[in-house]
Chains A and B, each alone.
Chain A
Amino acid sequence: MKPEELGTKEINTWCPGCPNFSILQAVKEALSNLANQGKLNIENVAMVTGIGCHAKIYDYLNLKGFYGIHGRTLPIAFGVKLGNPGLTVIGFGGDGDTYAEGMEHFIHNCRYNADLTMLVHNNQVFSLTTGQFTPTTEKGFKDGSSPLGLAEKPINPLVLAIEAGASFVARGFALDVPHLGELITQAVMHKGFSFIDILQPCIVYHKYSLPYFNKNVYKLENHDVTDFASALTRAREWDYSYEKDVKIPVGIFYKKERPVFESQWPQLKGAWSTIQRKINWQNVTKEFK
């Protein structure tokens, strides 16, 4: 199949030139490639989104899908996996969505290690609500809700994910579609919780990101992805701030398989909807007699 076969006829309402278009393209390329190699059945892919600019991707991808609510991509995606472990589940979230409203789910899903993929469109700003700060916005940022300038330092989601036990942690750059597509491919194929923080520079409410990324992003090389300590060190190279030019590594920081959540539950064999239940009422009630 061709990547464009994964598209829909819905009118795209992202801003012209938004890097979200590139993320959409990378996803289509990754999934169509995997399908063409026989590694994936597109019918079995389910996407889950939160709410925000990123979530519009639900309308632009011709996949099974659940357009969720703000911050709840991960519990919904996890529930989809619990309901039918045979599905390939891909979650999409924003930075406010995943790291503010949904932070507790993010940390716990890193721990649970269910076999699902989480792609975060990180533009370091709430854009659909016209430009408020998020947990990854840099210190000093001024806008409608922070006119005095943001006092706090941003969090580093890669460090959090590695520490919390995610078994695949990567960073991508939206505008490098072939590289991002390769990261998504690897994330989807990884057995366990795969997380990619995607730098998606907002061209309306966070304009200085794009030139900064173009200048400073580089690809991780000579890095042992199974080395936990080294993964943390590389993840800390850039702290999501813009005070001075700092090189920003993209690529896989950490990748180490461990048993997935689903493997701990003997009863989790396939889709529950296919089970024909016959209730033995005598058995269920005998303990009360």
Chain B
Amino acid sequence: MEKTILIGGAAGLGSAVTSHLIGKILCSLGYYVFDYRDYPSLIKGGNNFNVLRIADQPVYSHKQKYDIILALDQGTINLHKKDLKKGGLIFGNKETGPIVQKLQGPQILANDVLIGMFFKHFGVGLKIILAAVEKEFGSKSDLIKKAVEEGYQLVETKEKLKKGQLVKYFISGNEGISIGSIAAGMDLHLAYPMTPASPVLTFLAKRQLENNILVFQPENEIAVVNMALGASFTGAKVMVGTSGGGFALMTEAISLSGMADLPLVIYLAQRTGPSTGVPTHTAQGDLKFALNAGHGEFAKIVVAPGDAKEAIIRTQEAFYLSCKYRTPAIVLGDKHLGESNYTFDELEKSKLAAVSSPVNRASSYEHNALGHTVEDIASVIKGHERRIKKIALVEKEFLKFNPVSVYGPPAGEAGKGSNLIISYGSTKGAIIDALSSLKGFRFLQISYLKPFPKEAVRREIKKSRKVILIENSATGALADVIAEQTGIIIKNKILKYDGRPFISDDIIKNIKKVDED
């Protein structure tokens, strides 16, 4: 069983909330749901939409052909009708309008009529939906429940969803980063709002008292990161969050973190650049910026989770390594990872405990063991060597954190094995979903970009025939990184730079093209 549903409407009409609620109900019925969110940078108007892919097997990406369109306005139908499958259904204003009028409620009730229609179509019991609505909306749910019931009576059950075994977890990448930071024992989260990282700020802010953490929004990103280092000086564990432009403002202090030996975790959620770019859309264009951020030479960690579950563990690892080696760690995500919802049977945290401690002296200057300023030749050399030694130590330790993962059938004989797809970060979902349709392909996911797992990457490339890089960018920066680290040049690149994430159909089509060459 697999269905793809589009829910859309002008910004402010509620498509994000509705898709999340539908997704959550389906997860409670044991289904796997992937929820992709697409919205322009405006508050009211335009066309926001979510794509829900629902299946009885795990799915990690969305599709672009829809079985049902749930339309909150006519614009949604006009815009997306072309992608409706043959025989697909549209539920829209024609159905919801009269009911909203009858209930004399606000326009937003159309969402709830659609929810009722949708679940009736699939034969899901009304009680289950009403309970979920009540849980979501609490005391203000009476009118909403009426609208759901009205919608429920409007259509017949045409297909029957069977109830699955296990209730699933429905979680976004940003939520994964957030609870990963809690699991790591974070004390403070500081951030200045910037899409697509700000959901972490608001998620943690709302839950700060129950988790005994402090969440504060300072005057700008420069303040954010310098406050973080001030707190880190006292032994507090701090994560800051931002996207490209804000990260650019933070780079001076990343270098300070390296020089002053102060732990610092940065969540960098990439979006389409350069500059303001396409602020609510996705990209992987900041890889080299993250790797090279900060002047001077010092140890740095850059780790890139591939889905919401990995986001938890990788954030914990970032805290662990940053605190242990007292140097900055960047968790590199993007809009697609951060704002998409994934489904998992279980949510696990790692056993790693991040341990920091207060220090008496911290300095941006070259300094001796007492923290005093030094400029003489021997001390300058000693300072550099102390910092460079950390690079070697991190390079040794990170190997135990599975810096690469290989999916698909084993390669077989050296040089004659299967073909290899290489990627990092949020492209994982679409690649994994494509893999079963691609005979003779393995997927190498690189999760640590700094330190770089060069031996493992070289080994996998060496035992492959064709090697193809997939990246949500215009240049394929990971190929340059691989060339720098291993000396191997990757010629085949499948790149996407339209601000939208890969879907598995794109990947299958493009890989077949490369494979035929």
Contacts and interface: CB of A to CB of B under 8 A. Distances in A.
Interface residues of B, number: 60
Contacts of B232: 79, 83
Interface string A72-88: 10011111111110010
Contact of A272 (B209, B236, B252, B349): B236
Contact of A273 (B170, B212, B357, B360): B357
A82 B363 CA distance: 19
B209 A267 contact: yes
Contacts of B226: 68-69, 72, 75-76, 79
B373 to A, nearest CB: 5
Interface string B89-116: 0000000000000000000000000000
A75 B234 contact: no
Interface residues of A, number: 46
A247 interface: no
Contacts of B441: none
A116 B67 CA distance: 61
Contacts of B235: 83-84, 271-273
Nearest to B180: A284
B230 A67 contact: no
B171 A288 contact: yes
B359 to A, nearest CB: 8
B213 interface: yes
A179 interface: no
B256 A273 contact: no
Contacts of A8: 372
B229 A82 contact: no
B212 A275 contact: yes
B215 to A, nearest CB: 10
Nearest to A84: B234
B227 A82 contact: yes
A244 interface: no
B251 to A, nearest CB: 12
B469 to A, nearest CB: 33
Contact of B230 (A83, A267, A271): A83
Interface in A57-107: 58-59, 64-69, 72, 75-84, 87, 104-105, 107
Most chain B beta-carbon neighbours within 10 Å: one of A75, A76, A79? A79
Contact of A80 (B171, B213, B234): B234
Given A265-B214, A273-B356, A281-B349, 14 more contacts: A58-B373, A65-B361, A66-B363, A67-B364, A76-B230, A78-B223, A79-B230, A82-B231, A83-B230, A105-B222, A267-B209, A272-B237, A273-B235, A289-B169
